[in-house]
Amino acid sequence: MIRGFRFQKVSLRISKSGQRVYFNTESHKDFTQLKGIALTVGHEGALYGSTFGFRIDEKEVLDESHEAHLLVFGNDVAPNRKMLLFEIPIPINSSKIEGIYTDSSLQDLLGNASYNPGGGIISKNDVNVKKTYVSGKEVVKYSNFQVDGFQMLSGSGFSIGGYSVTPAPVTVVYYPYDVKVTLLLTR
């Protein structure tokens, strides 16, 4: 008998600074609503400045520049306190689920002085690379990608980008580290 909810998980491994990790998978066929999402990141220092974008059936839910630390729970935070719960659940039906995790993506923007003297709005073009979702040209195939504990084959849609950024000097991050994406599905 199937319970009324399920936590579907996707595991990612970040191997170097500035890596972009793309995944796609399908929502479990027995569940019809996505109620929440959360991340766990294996290294606290990696939280800040890293971003996570998320789409369902090619409709954006979280922009690619959404900060990972807003979705993360750790030892002192219960998952149900930190999970981003959708007030209006997202309907799913074996839906295509896509995400992009970018390590230390915002640090790269700190040195950009091409704004007014005091600063200003950062252009979406500087933070987002939305074409990654469709073209895949900037990504490299990678095989170490798991959904619910099952290893996916190379070429199943998990990819790593090629550009690198320099993290802020006081932010020490140890690589590799793992990111787990937890999706709360209900019937």
Partner 1 sequence: MTKTRITYYPVQFIVLHPLIPVTINTVLPSHIVKITGIKVVHSVGVQNMTTEKYLPVIGHLSLEFNSKQYHFGNIEVPFDYQAEASDEFLDAGIDIQRNSLLTGNYENKVFTGIDYLKADGTVTDKWSNYIVTIYLKTMSND
Cβ proximity of 180 and 82 under 8 Å: no
Question: Is residue 34 classed as helix, strand or coil in its secondary structure?
Answer: strand
By the 10 Å C-beta count (0-12 exposed, 13-18 middle, 19+ buried), 127 is classed as middle
* Contact code string over 52-91 relative to partner 1, x by CB under 8 A: -------xxxxx-xxx-xx-xxxxxx----x-x-xxx-x-
Near partner 1 in 110-169, by CB under 8 A: 110-113, 115-122, 127, 168-169
Least distance (Å) between residue 143 CB and partner 1: 31
Looking at the Cβ atoms of 24 and 50, the one nearer to partner 1 is 50
Residues 123, 100, 110, CA angle at the centre, nearest 5°?
35
Looking at the Cβ atoms of 93 and 154, the one nearer to partner 1 is 93
Please give the Cα distance from 169 to 74 (Å, whole number). Answer: 24
Site residues (vs partner 1, CB under 8 A): 44, 47-49, 59-63, 65-67, 69-70, 72-77, 82, 84, 86-88, 90, 106-107, 109-113, 115-122, 127, 168-171
